[in-house]
A and B are shown apart, each in its own frame.
Chain A
Amino acid sequence: MCMDSDAKNTGISRRLFLKGSILTPLALALGSAAISAVYLRPAQARGFYLRPPGAIEEARFLAACVKCGKCAQACPYKSIVMAGGEAGVGIGTPHIVPRENPCYLCPDLPCVKACPSGALDKQLTEVEKVRMGTAVIVDREGCLSIRGLRCEVCYRQCPLIDKAITIENRHNIRTGEHTIMEPVIHKDKCVGCGICEKVCVREKPVIAVQQRVTEQKDFYEF
Chain B
Amino acid sequence: MELTRRDFLKASAAAAAFAAAGAQALAPRLASAADDKGIKWGKAPCRYCGVGCCVLVGVKDGRIVATKGDPAGPVNKGLNCIKGYFLSKALYGKDRLTHPLIRKGNKMVKASWDEALNLIASKYKEAIARSGPDSVAIYGSGQWTVFEGYTAVKLFKGGIGTNNVEPNARLCMASAVVGFMNTFGSDEPMGCYDDLDLGDTYILWGANMAEAHPVLFSRLIDNKLKNKKVKIIDIATRRTRTTQMADEYIPMHPQGDLAALNAIAHVILRDKLYDESFVKQHVTFKRGTENQPYGLKDKENPKEEPKPLTFDEYKQLMKQFTPEWAEKLSGIPAKKIEHLAQLYTDKSRKVNSLWTMGVNQHVRGVWVNNLIYNLHLLTGKICKPGENPLSLTGQPSACGTAREVGTFAHRLPADMVVMNEAHRKKTAEIWGIDPKKISPKVGLHTMEMYRAIDRGELKCLWIQCTNPFQSIPNLSRYRKAAQARKAFIVVSDIYPTRSTEVADVILPSASWVEKEGVFGNTERRTQHWFKMIEPPGEAKEDTWQLIEFAKRLGHGNLFPYSQKNFHKEMWEEYRKFTIGTGKDLAPYETYHKVRGLRWPVKSNGQETRWRYTDADDPYVKKGEGVKFYKAPGNKATIWFRPYEPPAESPNSEYPFWYCTGRLLEHWHTATMTGRVPELKRAMPGATLEMHPEDAARLGIKNRDKVKVSSRRGSVVLTAEINGRGKPEKGNVFTTFFDETKLINDLCIDAFDPLSKEPDFKKCAVKVEKA
Chain A residues with a Cβ under 8 A of chain B? 104-108, 144, 148-153, 156-157, 159, 161-162, 167, 169-172, 174-179, 181, 198-203
- Choose among A104, A153, A172 the residue that contacts B665 (Cβ–Cβ < 8 A): A153
- A179 & B723 in contact (Cβ 8 Å cutoff): no
In the complex with contacts A104-B703, A156-B241, A199-B681, A179-B225 CB distance below 8 A: yes
- A151 & B81 in contact (Cβ 8 Å cutoff): yes
Chain B minimum-CB-distance residue to A151? B82
| Distance in angstroms between the alpha carbons of A106 and B260 in the assembled complex | 41
**CB of B215 closer than 8 Å to a CB of A:** yes
Known: A151-B82, A159-B702, A170-B225. 13 other contacts (CB 8 A): A104-B703, A153-B664, A153-B665, A153-B683, A157-B682, A161-B722, A169-B225, A175-B78, A176-B77, A198-B681, A199-B683, A201-B679, A203-B23
| Distance in angstroms between the alpha carbons of A64 and B279 in the assembled complex | 79
Chain B minimum-CB-distance residue to A106? B703
- B82 & A149 in contact (Cβ 8 Å cutoff): yes
- A178 & B222 in contact (Cβ 8 Å cutoff): yes
- A201 & B722 in contact (Cβ 8 Å cutoff): no
Residues of B with C-beta under 8 A to A169? 221, 225, 245
> Which residues of chain B in 71-94 are interfacial with respect to chain A, using CB atoms and an 8 Å cutoff?
76-82, 85-86
Chain A minimum-CB-distance residue to B684? A199
- Choose among A108, A161, A175 the residue that contacts B77 (Cβ–Cβ < 8 A): A175
Interface of A is mostly: loop
Residues of B with C-beta under 8 A to A175? 76-79
- B664 & A201 in contact (Cβ 8 Å cutoff): no
- B226 & A199 in contact (Cβ 8 Å cutoff): no
**CB of B125 closer than 8 Å to a CB of A:** no
Residues of A with C-beta under 8 A to B217? 150
> Which residues of chain B in 82-132 are interfacial with respect to chain A, using CB atoms and an 8 Å cutoff?
82, 85-86
Chain B minimum-CB-distance residue to A180? B218
Residues of A with C-beta under 8 A to B78? 148, 174-175
- Choose among B80, B219, B681, B723 the residue that contacts A149 (Cβ–Cβ < 8 A): B80
| Distance in angstroms between the alpha carbons of A152 and B214 in the assembled complex | 11
Residues of A with C-beta under 8 A to B226? 171
A37: min CB distance to chain B, Å: 34
- A105 & B702 in contact (Cβ 8 Å cutoff): yes
Residues of B with C-beta under 8 A to A159? 702, 722-723
Residues of B with C-beta under 8 A to A152? 241
**CB of B484 closer than 8 Å to a CB of A:** no
Chain B minimum-CB-distance residue to A203? B26
Residues of A with C-beta under 8 A to B215? 150, 178
How many contacts between A and B, using CB within 8 angstroms?
A: 107
- A162 & B86 in contact (Cβ 8 Å cutoff): no
- A153 & B244 in contact (Cβ 8 Å cutoff): no
Closest 9 CB pairs of A and B: A150-B214, A150-B81, A175-B77, A201-B678, A179-B221, A178-B218, A156-B724, A199-B682, A179-B222
Chain A minimum-CB-distance residue to B214? A150
| Distance in angstroms between the alpha carbons of A144 and B22 in the assembled complex | 13
A121: min CB distance to chain B, Å: 21
| Distance in angstroms between the alpha carbons of A200 and B665 in the assembled complex | 11
- A202 & B681 in contact (Cβ 8 Å cutoff): no
| Distance in angstroms between the alpha carbons of A181 and B678 in the assembled complex | 20
- B79 & A148 in contact (Cβ 8 Å cutoff): yes
| Distance in angstroms between the alpha carbons of A199 and B723 in the assembled complex | 15
- B23 & A202 in contact (Cβ 8 Å cutoff): yes
> Which residues of chain B in 235-274 are interfacial with respect to chain A, using CB atoms and an 8 Å cutoff?
241, 244-245
- Choose among B77, B244, B701, B703 the residue that contacts A177 (Cβ–Cβ < 8 A): B77
Can you list 19 contacts pairing A with B, beta carbon distance less than 8 Å? A104-B703, A107-B701, A148-B218, A149-B82, A150-B82, A151-B82, A156-B241, A156-B724, A167-B245, A174-B77, A175-B77, A175-B79, A177-B77, A177-B219, A178-B76, A179-B221, A181-B218, A201-B682, A203-B25
- B218 & A144 in contact (Cβ 8 Å cutoff): no
Chain A minimum-CB-distance residue to B222? A179
Residues of B with C-beta under 8 A to A198? 681
| Distance in angstroms between the alpha carbons of A170 and B245 in the assembled complex | 12
- B222 & A171 in contact (Cβ 8 Å cutoff): yes
**CB of B386 closer than 8 Å to a CB of A:** no
Chain B minimum-CB-distance residue to A156? B724
- Choose among B218, B701, B702 the residue that contacts A179 (Cβ–Cβ < 8 A): B218
Residues of B with C-beta under 8 A to A176? 77
- A149 & B85 in contact (Cβ 8 Å cutoff): yes
A106: min CB distance to chain B, Å: 7
- A149 & B69 in contact (Cβ 8 Å cutoff): yes
**CB of B197 closer than 8 Å to a CB of A:** yes
Interface centre among A162, A169, A179 (most CB of B within 10 A): A179
Complex interface bits, B646-666 against A, C-beta within 8 A gives 1, otherwise 0? 000000000000000001110
Chain A minimum-CB-distance residue to B19? A147
- A178 & B85 in contact (Cβ 8 Å cutoff): no
| Distance in angstroms between the alpha carbons of A178 and B683 in the assembled complex | 25
Complex interface bits, B208-231 against A, C-beta within 8 A gives 1, otherwise 0? 000000110111011101100000
| Distance in angstroms between the alpha carbons of A153 and B682 in the assembled complex | 7
B553: min CB distance to chain A, Å: 45
- B82 & A153 in contact (Cβ 8 Å cutoff): yes
In the complex with contacts A153-B682, A156-B724, A157-B682, A107-B702 CB distance below 8 A: yes
Residues of B with C-beta under 8 A to A172? 79, 218, 222
- Choose among B82, B223, B241 the residue that contacts A201 (Cβ–Cβ < 8 A): B82
| Distance in angstroms between the alpha carbons of A176 and B219 in the assembled complex | 9
- B678 & A150 in contact (Cβ 8 Å cutoff): no
| Distance in angstroms between the alpha carbons of A64 and B218 in the assembled complex | 50
| Distance in angstroms between the alpha carbons of A149 and B79 in the assembled complex | 5
Residues of B with C-beta under 8 A to A106? 703
| Distance in angstroms between the alpha carbons of A202 and B682 in the assembled complex | 10
Residues of B with C-beta under 8 A to A202? 23, 678
| Distance in angstroms between the alpha carbons of A198 and B663 in the assembled complex | 18
| Distance in angstroms between the alpha carbons of A105 and B720 in the assembled complex | 12
Residues of A with C-beta under 8 A to B223? 177
- A150 & B681 in contact (Cβ 8 Å cutoff): no
Chain A minimum-CB-distance residue to B226? A171
Residues of B with C-beta under 8 A to A105? 702
Complex interface bits, B667-693 against A, C-beta within 8 A gives 1, otherwise 0? 000000000001101110000000000
B112: min CB distance to chain A, Å: 40
- A171 & B225 in contact (Cβ 8 Å cutoff): yes
Chain B minimum-CB-distance residue to A153? B682
A125: min CB distance to chain B, Å: 14
Chain A minimum-CB-distance residue to B724? A156
| Distance in angstroms between the alpha carbons of A203 and B682 in the assembled complex | 12
B430: min CB distance to chain A, Å: 39
| Distance in angstroms between the alpha carbons of A143 and B219 in the assembled complex | 19
- B682 & A144 in contact (Cβ 8 Å cutoff): no
- A178 & B724 in contact (Cβ 8 Å cutoff): no
A164: min CB distance to chain B, Å: 12
Complex interface bits, B710-727 against A, C-beta within 8 A gives 1, otherwise 0? 000000000000111000
| Distance in angstroms between the alpha carbons of A118 and B681 in the assembled complex | 34
Chain A minimum-CB-distance residue to B720? A159
In the complex with contacts A159-B702, A199-B681, A201-B86, A150-B80 CB distance below 8 A: yes
In the complex with contacts A157-B682, A161-B722, A201-B682, A149-B81 CB distance below 8 A: yes
Residues of B with C-beta under 8 A to A162? 244
Residues of A with C-beta under 8 A to B683? 153, 157, 199
| Distance in angstroms between the alpha carbons of A171 and B86 in the assembled complex | 24
A220: min CB distance to chain B, Å: 24
| Distance in angstroms between the alpha carbons of A82 and B347 in the assembled complex | 67
- A177 & B197 in contact (Cβ 8 Å cutoff): yes
| Distance in angstroms between the alpha carbons of A179 and B245 in the assembled complex | 12
Chain B minimum-CB-distance residue to A172? B222
| Distance in angstroms between the alpha carbons of A161 and B245 in the assembled complex | 14
B709: min CB distance to chain A, Å: 24
- B244 & A167 in contact (Cβ 8 Å cutoff): yes
- B724 & A177 in contact (Cβ 8 Å cutoff): no
| Distance in angstroms between the alpha carbons of A162 and B239 in the assembled complex | 12
In the complex with contacts A149-B85, A153-B682, A201-B679, A178-B722 CB distance below 8 A: no
| Distance in angstroms between the alpha carbons of A181 and B82 in the assembled complex | 13
